Amino acid sequence: MDNKILIDPSEDRINIAKKVSKLALPIIFSNLLYAVETSVSLILVSGISSTAVAGVGYSNSMLWFIYSLMALSYTGTSVLIAQRVGAGKDPSPAFLWGLILAFLIALPLTFFGADITTAIMVQFGASKEVAEVSYQYLEPIFLFITVGFLLEVFYAAYNGYGDTKTPFKIDLLISLTDIIFSYLLIYGKFGLPRLEVAGAGWGMVIAEVLGLLAYLYLYIAYRRPFPVRLDLGRDVLLKMLRIGSPTALERAITSLSFNIFVGMVARFGDKALAAHQVGLRVESVSFMVGFGFMIASTVVSGQNFGAGNYKGLQRGISTIVHLTAFIMGLAGVFLLLFPREFSYFFVKDSQVVDLAVYYLVIVALSQPQMAYASIYSGALKGMGKTHIPLMINISSFWLFRIIPSYVFIKFFPSPIVPWVFMSVETTLRALIFYLAYRRIISKLTSHTIKEMPTS
């Protein structure tokens, strides 16, 4: 299969970097599109109020928690398809079970998602005004949440198979549609109703429906990326649950923890919360680069693991992690040099900008560490070792971020305190991930001697 991305252990690192970049760049551009999409949503609602900015920004953070439930089918689909492609097996069972699980998980959220999410936001420290704005934004999104979940499975299937260009093209369609319809519906242009914050939610819904239709068209008309055979092997379902459940639990607890963390910032007022959201949007450009290479590392790890090419896996991940750290380190330099200019792009409130500058300067120092944590996490998931990121991410977040922030805020009441510990925790987590990955890969390469498989 020409979609296999198998690494020769003796291969030159420049050639490996080219292979990986070819795989990762469409993913990176897809995620940058998402960053642009969410950033434009904030810019559009900033014309309404700073409360609207805080509400939409916090809602997007909470959606990360909701979409963590998708990790069960998303991660299972992506990893199993990558491993089955590497082993020369039919990917269909993993894809079909991914769709079924995604639908079953999403269905209850259609009816209760918006109410539960905004109630949690209030408990975490958001003001009632922010919660009311958030509900307006989230209501249409949850009404069509099954579409978003199914869309993620298609995305996972293409990436796991090694085709990252097609999802990028569809993501481009989704982002443009979202931006256009959000603008039209927020401000009521061309005869459309003025929905304000709710318009941003409906813009996302329209875009995701169009994206799902595009994926269905490709599968029905062209059978891409692979022909789907009606095969629902019970063993595949069990393996998907075993691989996907730890990641779903990890993302759920981590996302919930993250929103508890954001709640600490929210206690300092809507301006501090808005600054946090602006900082996240600016930093997301660097983060999405790391996230794109993390997905690439999962695909490379999964396919080479499935093929038994452990030395090649080690060589590939080593190249990816140093390349990603260099790129994200460079992004950190720009965050350090131009924090105020980036912040003013999203909001004009001088108090919000001043706080956002502190955020960006602090996180700029931990961008390379975030790269190492992301890539080693992706590599472990590709090998099916999803229980390790579960343990590391949860323990690190609480031990090195939330608990120290909670303690020190009492002595130094400022949003700068949690931002400092956010950077410290990222650094320590990167070190722990490195040690865990080194332990696993050393066992694989020392106990099993395999020749480089042929495509």
What is the distance between the alpha carbons of residues 189 and 187, in angstroms, rounded to a whole number? Answer: 6
Query: Quick check: 128 pLDDT over 60?
Result: yes
Query: Quick check: 181 pLDDT over 50?
Result: yes
| pLDDT tens profile 258-311 | 778 888 888 888 788 888 878 887 887 788 888 889 989 998 998 899 888 999
pLDDT, residue 337, reads 93
Q: Which residue has the higher pLDDT, 256 or 366?
A: 366
What is the distance between the alpha carbons of residues 338 and 326, in angstroms, rounded to a whole number? Answer: 19
**DSSP class of 451:** P
Residue 134 CB neighbour total at 10 angstroms:
28
Task: Please give the mean pLDDT across all residues of the chain.
Answer: 86
451: buried, middle or exposed (CB in 10 Å: 19+, 13-18, 0-12)? exposed
pLDDT, residue 70, reads 80
pLDDT, residue 441, reads 94
Query: Which has the minimum average pLDDT: 57-61, 274-278, 387-391, 416-420?
Result: 57-61
Helices marked H in 124-233: 128-143, 145-161, 165-187, 197-222
Q: What are phi and psi of 453, to 5 degrees?
A: -65, 155
% of the chain exceeding 70 in pLDDT: 97
| pLDDT tens profile 336-383 | 999 998 888 877 788 888 899 999 999 999 999 999 999 999 999 999
- In this prediction, residues 228-247 reach a mean pLDDT of 84
pLDDT, residue 422, reads 92
DSSP per residue, 101-136: HHHHHHHHHHHHHHHHHHHHHHHTT--HHHHHHHHH
Query: Quick check: 386 pLDDT over 80?
Result: yes
Query: Quick check: 57 pLDDT over 80?
Result: no
Query: Which has the minimum average pLDDT: 38-42, 241-245, 262-266?
Result: 38-42
- In this prediction, residues 6-25 reach a mean pLDDT of 87
pLDDT, residue 447, reads 64
Please count the residues of the chain.
Answer: 455
pLDDT grade for 2, boundaries at 50, 70 and 90 = low
Query: Quick check: 1 pLDDT over 50?
Result: no
Query: Quick check: 453 pLDDT over 60?
Result: no
pLDDT, residue 113, reads 84
**DSSP class of 223:** -
Query: Which has the minimum average pLDDT: 25-29, 121-125, 263-267, 359-363?
Result: 121-125
Query: Quick check: 63 pLDDT over 90?
Result: no
Q: What are phi and psi of 339, to 5 degrees?
A: -65, -40
Cβ atoms 85, 4 nearer than 8 A: yes
Cβ atoms 25, 293 nearer than 8 A: no
- In this prediction, residues 62-74 reach a mean pLDDT of 78
**In whole angstroms, what separates CA 77 from the centre of its chain?**
16
Query: Quick check: 64 pLDDT over 90?
Result: no
Query: Quick check: 178 pLDDT over 60?
Result: yes
